[in-house]
Amino acid sequence: MADPSLLLPNPFTPLAFVPPEDAYTVAIAVYVLIGTLSICIWDGLHCLSQDYLLLFKKEIGLCTITYFLSRICTFGFALTAAIFATGPIKHCATYQTVNNIFYVLAIPMTAFLFFLRVRAVYNRKKNVSVIFFTLWLALLGYLLSLVTATKGINIGSTDYCTYAPLVTRDSGTGVFLFIHDTLVFLAISWRLFSISHVDNNAGKGLKVVVLGRYLPAFSKAILHDGQVYYLMSIATVLVALALFFSTNLPIPMRVVFSVFTVTITNIMACRVFRNVKLGLYRKQGDLSRS
């Protein structure tokens, strides 16, 4: 019997061209992408009835348009990323550019939902709107510069694809998101604290910011949803950055968690939007009192 170590790899199997010590990790990266796409599809089906109400039973304005654009772009990003990792695409460079376009559109659309949220919480104050719109423009401008940053290449002589070597500036998106989400969270928390009508007591102030104590039910629900979004966003962004800078990992594993991050943050942001737009918070308290 021939020694298996002397057999040539199957030229039609993409993992045959991956170093043996990296093959297992690369396979895990593919599973993460498939799982992320499954989560995206499940969320779309789960929220189908609410999306129907937003589209046909509610007035369609800038917020609703942004909401649907963010969901479409995020689904497109998750779908194209999963196909890139699993399908015999052949034209990898061109296809990865398409994936990058969905990427640079999905994140700003999700971030714009929170710009509209901050503007509403501050009752459209001009100075606050200018500051956060400028922050959003900075995020958009940086992302547009990344349309051709992440490149796709063929795996060996196969039609399957992988990522070209990464450059450091690709990590800037995670840093931008960290700054953006932190400033949005702090701004909303401060605004809710300022309308809580508590005296100058540090203990009560902490309870307002952390627990939503002394706030009307509507404002408390907004604060708690914002806290959940912020914790999920920061946790996934930090993991994505940690993997990106782990140079001992194969490139697919360093990149793959960014897809999960974009998908989860969009799901959370859209959940917050639906709760407000469909009046789900009103079941927790009288809107007029808040």
For the entire predicted model, the pTM comes to 0.81
Mean pLDDT over residues 102-119, rounded? 89
- Taking only the tens place, the pLDDT of each residue in 176-224 is 888 888 888 888 877 777 765 555 555 555 555 555 555 555 566 666 6
* Tokens found for residue 89: 């695409």
| Contacts (Cβ under 8 Å, ≥6 apart) of 290 | 215, 216, 217, 218, 219
Q: How far is CA 61 from the centre of its chain?
A: 23
In sequence order, the 6+-apart residues with CB closer than 8 A to the CB of 40 are 74, 75, 78, 79, 263, 267
- How far is CA 227 from each of CA 63, 97, 200, 233, rounded to the nearest angstrom? 21, 34, 23, 10
**Residues 6+ away with beta carbon under 8 Å from 29:** 85, 250, 252, 253, 255, 256
pLDDT band at 290 (very low <50, low <70, confident <90, very high): very low
**Residues 154/160, Cβ–Cβ less than 8 Å:** yes
For tokens 């993992």, what's the residue? Answer: 15
CB 252 within 8 A of CB 233: no
* Domain at 19-288: CATH architecture: Up-down Bundle (1.20)
Query: What's the average model confidence in pLDDT over 222-229?
Result: 71
> Residue 148 — φ and ψ, nearest 5°?
-115, 15
Domain ranges of the chain: 19-288
Q: By three-state DSSP, how is residue 36 classified?
A: helix
Contacts 24+ apart (CB under 8 A), 124-132: 128/187, 132/183, 132/184, 132/187
| 165 has pLDDT over 80 | no
The neighbour count for residue 6, using CB atoms within 10 Å, is: 6
pLDDT of residue 42: 94
pLDDT tens digits, 267-287: 988 888 888 787 765 554 444
Q: What is the mean pLDDT of residues 1-18?
A: 57
Tell me the average pLDDT across 34-57. 91
Range with the lowest mean pLDDT among 223-227, 228-232, 245-249? 223-227
The conformation of residue 9, written as its DSSP 8-state character, comes to P
Residue 40's pLDDT is 92
**Mean pLDDT in the chain?**
78
Specify the pLDDT at position 4: 46
Residue 46 identity:
H
SS3 category, 243: helix
Do residues 216 and 289 touch, judged by C-beta distance below 8 A?
A: yes
What stretches of 47-166 show up as alpha helix (H) in DSSP? 48-56, 62-86, 92-121, 126-144
The answer to whether 187 and 276 are in contact (CB under 8 A) is no
Please say if the pLDDT value at position 125 is more than 80.
Answer: yes
User: 């909303």: which residue's tokens?
Assistant: 188
108-131: average pLDDT: 87
At 159 the pLDDT is 81
Residue 16 has pLDDT above 80, yes or no: no
Q: Are 249 and 243 in contact (CB under 8 A)?
A: yes
